[in-house]
Amino acid sequence: MSRIMLAIKTVLADSDDIPTLIFDEIDTGISGRTAQKVSEKLSYIAANHQVICITHLPQIAAMADAHFEIKKSAEAGKTTTGIQALQDEEIVEELARLLGGAEITDAVKVNAREMKRLAAEKKLKKS
């Protein structure tokens, strides 16, 4: 459903009045090149709208202009949720976590930096 909405919003991106779009888990069931294309469509929509996207795919996360980490914790029978804006190296660390899983090596971090750099270049070419 999220991907259908993404397709519709991509077509209507220049003409609708909706200021904010939220895509939750738009990455379900996709990977690789498809995820890259979805990230490019989200970036296109973000030129005229605020886009909030919850994702677990580095291809989609790398294209974001801002990154936030949401953490949920339970203590003494009480569950709390916190949100923190990520900066520079924290973004690389989070992309590396999405790429590498349990063990984050230097090579995975290099790959995460490269993904972020390529995403930035792609966005510059569009503007």
Secondary structure letter of residue 53 according to DSSP: E
Cβ neighbours for 18, distance < 8 A, ≥ 6 positions apart? 49
Q: What is the pLDDT of residue 91?
A: 96
The token pair at 38 is 């979805």
User: What residue type is assigned to position 72 of the chain?
Assistant: K
pLDDT for 88-124, tens place per residue? 999 999 999 999 877 899 999 999 999 999 999 988 8
The token pair at 40 is 């490019």
pLDDT interval class at 32 (50, 70, 90)? confident
Cα-based distances in Å from 96 to 23, 30, 68, 112, 122: 22, 19, 15, 5, 20
Asked whether the beta carbons of 55 and 61 are under 8 A apart, the reply is yes
Q: What is the pLDDT of residue 21?
A: 84
pLDDT-wise least confident of 13-22, 27-36, 71-80, 95-104: 13-22
Q: What is the pLDDT of residue 127?
A: 63
Residue 86 or 24, more confident: 86
On the question of pLDDT at 9 being above 70, the answer is no
Model confidence pTM above 0.85: no
**Which residue is associated with the tokens 């520079």?**
88
CATH number for 2-126 (one of 3.40.630.10, 3.20.20.150, 3.40.50.300, 3.10.20.30): it is: 3.40.50.300
Q: What is the pLDDT of residue 34?
A: 87
CA distance 11 to 18: 13
Q: Where are the chain's structural domains?
A: 2-126
